[in-house]
Amino acid sequence: MTDHGCIKCGSCLRACPVLSDPNGTGFPGPRTVGVDVPRFPERGRIGERALMCTMCHACEWACPSGLEITGAMLQLRAEVSPGLQLPGHLRMRENVRSFGRAVRTEFTGWREEGNRTLYFPGCIGLGPLAAMTTTASSLLTALGIEHDISSRAVCCGSPLLKVGALAEAKVLQHRNMETLAAYERVITSCPGCTYQLREVYGVRAEHMVEVLKAKDLRSKVRGKWALQLPCHLKRGLSPWSAEALVHVLTGAGVDIVRLPVEDRCCGGGGGMLAGFPATARSMAHNKADTYRAAGVEGVITACPFCALNLGREGLRVLDVSEAVHAEKMR
């Protein structure tokens, strides 16, 4: 064992979904980026390769020494990112400066009625997946959960932390805390947002699956469906949160086909989709092939980034809120 706890077993390398992808061979691997490089003063020389990671936490789960590899990689990103100019990451940061969110806002159905619950869809849910947010909001209303969707709530800052922009993420946190102070309850659809609000803000946010797991729901879909268990839901929040997704769907009568790859990263997180789109697409393409081979109607997930990345491969991808309805909605 080394003085920092790594036993050089290679478990993290075997677990890494980026390294196993044909387009991910440029990534040095979690052991190099998260364990070895941070110990040396020359660590800044690693360059953009330090950003070629989806932050899926699979390496941490595989590590027998329990090393916090993801946290170490985040810290390294903060050190090396000022000198990097990845076009997608620069565009994302410019969007935050211009719109307050990582992508251009397309959602228009704001609800600012003074309710005590805030529904916080996340940037993707207010951008390209705005229809998902409308459906989720309707489901919450049908369940008797009156809520606001505030135009004053901006990006949670998680995408900026993933590219090392700590100062900018802190500004967003300050803005959001002023908005969140008016609410007693916060519900999210993006597990990355949930994790950020809990672990960085100290706000007890609830992910949608945690809200739905005790509700009387019915399926809106027919046929057999596969799952995409989001990394930030299972390995970020809790494996019980991921199982709650399964419970919600099966309890509603959705015919679920369990696949060994259902919890493997799709490539949509960690800044990969913006910074290394070819690798993100390759990872999604490989997963899409597996889903198609299973003969399912489509995939159900609980993460806007998963829905966006897999959806680009022509799969029918639904958020959990789009797959079920409340009993009284029939």
Express each pLDDT in 94-143 by its tens digit: 999 999 999 999 999 999 999 999 999 999 999 999 999 999 999 999 99
- Please state the domain count of the chain: 3
Same domain for 146 and 61: no
The total of other beta-carbon atoms located within 10 Å of residue 297's CB is 17
Region of poorest pLDDT, from 45-54, 66-75, 130-139: 45-54
Q: What is the pLDDT of residue 79?
A: 85
Residues 107 and 130: beta-carbon distance below 8 Å: yes
Q: Is residue 95 part of a domain?
A: no
Same domain for 65 and 169: no
Same domain for 301 and 223: yes
Q: What angle do CA 263, 199, 129 make, to 5 degrees?
A: 55
Q: Is residue 92 part of a domain?
A: no
Give percent above pLDDT 90 in the chain: 84
Q: What is the pLDDT of residue 47?
A: 80
Residues 280 and 263: beta-carbon distance below 8 Å: no
Region of poorest pLDDT, from 37-41, 116-120, 261-265: 37-41
Q: How sure is the predictor about 77, in pLDDT bands with cuts at 50, 70 and 90?
A: confident
Same domain for 319 and 230: yes
Measured CA to CA, the distance from residue 325 to residue 62 in angstroms comes to 37
pLDDT tens readout for residues 154-202: 999 999 999 889 999 999 999 999 999 999 999 999 999 999 999 999 9
| Among 157, 177, 211, residue at a domain's last position | 211
The total of other beta-carbon atoms located within 10 Å of residue 200's CB is 15
Q: What is the pLDDT of residue 328?
A: 62
Q: What is the pLDDT of residue 201?
A: 98
Residue 40, CA distances (Å) to 6, 14, 80, 273, 277 in order: 16, 24, 13, 29, 30
Same domain for 69 and 47: yes
| Among 156, 179, 211, residue at a domain's last position | 211
| Among 162, 179, 211, residue at a domain's last position | 211
Same domain for 227 and 190: no
Residue 5, CA distances (Å) to 41, 63, 64, 74, 247 in order: 19, 10, 10, 19, 37
Same domain for 200 and 165: yes
Q: Is residue 93 part of a domain?
A: no
Rounded to an integer, the average pLDDT of 241-265 is 96
Q: What is the pLDDT of residue 3?
A: 46
pLDDT tens readout for residues 289-328: 999 999 999 999 999 999 999 999 999 999 999 999 997 6
Residue 274 belongs to domain spanning? 216-329
Residue 240 has pLDDT above 50, yes or no: yes
Name the most confidently modeled range: 38-52, 69-83, 206-220.
206-220
pLDDT tens readout for residues 266-286: 999 999 999 999 999 999 999
Q: How sure is the predictor about 44, in pLDDT bands with cuts at 50, 70 and 90?
A: low
Same domain for 154 and 67: no
Q: What is the pLDDT of residue 330?
A: 44
Same domain for 276 and 201: no
Q: Is residue 287 part of a domain?
A: yes
Region of poorest pLDDT, from 83-87, 147-151, 210-214, 227-231: 83-87
Non-local CB neighbours of 191 within 8 Å, separated by 6+ positions: 207, 230, 231, 232, 233, 236, 237, 241, 302, 303
Residue 83, CA distances (Å) to 32, 33, 46, 97 in order: 20, 17, 11, 19
Same domain for 258 and 201: no
Q: Is residue 89 part of a domain?
A: no
Give percent above pLDDT 70 in the chain: 97
Q: What is the pLDDT of residue 45?
A: 72
